[in-house]
Structure 1
């Protein structure tokens, strides 16, 4: 959406005339301005904020070479999400955020009465050490299903959405995607993931470098279908749909940002809708943020995923729009404003 210069000037004027020195609320002022521009109003609202967790398994995880935890942890954590025992459950409850869990392609058959969205493409991807992770048809199905999920959430009244993920070995997929989109060597992209030590990281770099060289990837579709998990392709589709619906998108950490790198090739203006929650402690994430030339709201040393960074940042979005809407202006409060100093 194109925002007029007149509107931007009026919005900034409203921010500047609050009872404070110019710029005294720092990044909250920039955040209020951004959300106002997304919603094209000087009185923006955060309504029914929601985080969607896409969960999927990766074929390479069965080998146990790039992941210290077994593949079964993905399904076990989905149960933990459903039972309310994970960090994202705690933070979502603390901050009054709706939470949806999506089975994008977990290698497990969940009971039909579980409170999860069944969007399973397959029981995990193929092992990209030997073949592409998924077919083009599976890739297209993942995009379609995730778009439908986001559209439904939007129709329920949500205008602010964040995304999380769960999938053992998905930092490997994210590293491969980062290497492709940023044109960086694998050692600059690979971190500790779920807890690899130096020897494990070196082995992971070697394996993923071999994977990268094996496949002739030429575009976004090929990159995602070759290296991505079903949950990462669903993140890609969800990001594009959220931008299409002009929602405020809260970007989490390393995995979600890898999907955003792909989404940016399909929608060159998507960053206008994105707020970056935090700087993950996964070493590649800082490079991604520098590449995108964006500033995250928080830096807490997180590297958990699940959308936890987004859940912690959403209260800042609420604070930003609330000061814009509810804080007195100098005129309404009868407070003298700043005078020009010679």
Structure 2
């Protein structure tokens, strides 16, 4: 079993001093609400009162799922390859949002069921060509879970070493909302029926078929240990994202967590190493029904509520300006004392 990254919990003893610093800014006490909480979190992560958020990187992890063989998705696995090509061509929604938010975007091949051509924005980290069908047996072996966790952590650490201040996570993988539902069902825990949503666009009949397949998978294994849950029900892009959360936290970088599927990965990371929760910034409340239970389980407060359920890291990119605003509050805003004394 591969050792997990060593993560240091945030030193909360510094929070009163940071709150006092914010209270002394040229604004009414607490007038910026959640932005002030976010500023404190960023400063604690950075270990200094002037955190920088200039360089941001979105990592979109891609993988295929054996569950699609049983009809959990309205689309075939071939769409994963097509959307990866769209991301690498710069024409996906995530590309447009990344350009607006001022973030770099890279795609990680965690387990796409095809051979992808080299591309400057593609990180090759494939563990295998897609997961196995979790309705019939374990989706991944224990070694494959360990490999995906380790590769995700390494990718995050390398991004931090490259100078990125903020990491945002996203995903692309047909069938991955089914895998995420099973993970949340066991890791929250929460009733499976409440974790299953439309994903990429099921109608009522498709949603009923999806639930039946996932119930079959859940009945097959009673795993509750995080690593075993990931082996039984996980997808490679989800497991690798969990590793990236751990790697980013070990490198003391804030992680913008996107919606339901990315959130399942973050919840798995927190179940593996609870201190990782300190480094997660939950970008938005997804329209996927299982996200509510996930947020409760992670004790998370999302920044936005826009009815999103696209994935790709789009919610994280929309929340990035709020992260930068929180850091700028600490770095750029004058103190009330300086304003009153004319020291501007």
TM class by shorter chain equals over 0.9
Instruction: Establish whether residue 51 from structure 1 lines up as the match of residue 58 from structure 2.
Output: yes
**CA RMSD between the two structures:** 1.5
Q: Deviations over 1:172-212 (max 9, x none)?
A: 00000011112322111101111112222222112111110
In 2: Cα distance, 1:20 partner to 1:235 partner: 38
In 2: Cα distance, 1:62 partner to 1:2 partner: 43
2:27 to 6, 20, 40: 20
State the TM-score, normalizing by the size of structure 1: 0.94
In 2: Cα distance, 1:170 partner to 1:319 partner: 32
In 1: Cα distance, 2:311 partner to 2:33 partner: 27
1:3 to 11, 21, 24: 11
What residue in structure 2 maps to residue 197 of structure 1? Answer: 203
What residue in structure 2 maps to residue 339 of structure 1? Answer: none
Moved over 6 A (4+): none
In 2: Cα distance, 1:9 partner to 1:234 partner: 36
Contact 2:172 2:311 in 1 (8 A): yes
Flag the structure with larger Rg. 1
What residue in structure 2 maps to residue 340 of structure 1? Answer: none
In 2: Cα distance, 1:70 partner to 1:335 partner: 66
Instruction: Establish whether residue 214 from structure 1 lines up as the match of residue 247 from structure 2.
Output: no
SS of residue in 2 equivalent to 1:126? coil
What residue in structure 1 maps to residue 4 of structure 2? Answer: none
Runs (5+) with no aligned partner, structure 1: 337-342
In 2: Cα distance, 1:74 partner to 1:26 partner: 39
Instruction: Establish whether residue 128 from structure 1 lines up as the match of residue 142 from structure 2.
Output: no
SS of residue in 2 equivalent to 1:120? coil
Greater shift after overlay, 35-44 or 167-176? Answer: 35-44
1:252 to 235, 252, 258: 258
Runs (5+) with no aligned partner, structure 2: 1-8
In 2: Cα distance, 1:59 partner to 1:8 partner: 46
Q: Deviations over 1:13-47 (max 9, x none)?
A: 11111111111112111111111111121111114
In structure 2, relative to structure 1, the CA distance for the partners of 1:196 and 1:245 (3 Å cut) is same
What residue in structure 2 maps to residue 103 of structure 1? Answer: 109
In 2: Cα distance, 1:43 partner to 1:289 partner: 29
Instruction: Establish whether residue 179 from structure 1 lines up as the match of residue 185 from structure 2.
Output: yes
What residue in structure 2 maps to residue 322 of structure 1? Answer: 328
1:73 to 72, 79, 84: 79
In 2: Cα distance, 1:27 partner to 1:154 partner: 26
In 2: Cα distance, 1:134 partner to 1:254 partner: 21
1:276 to 266, 278, 282: 282
* 1:112 Cα deviation after fit: 2.8
* 1:234 Cα deviation after fit: 0.3
What residue in structure 2 maps to residue 36 of structure 1? Answer: 43
In 2: Cα distance, 1:289 partner to 1:216 partner: 23
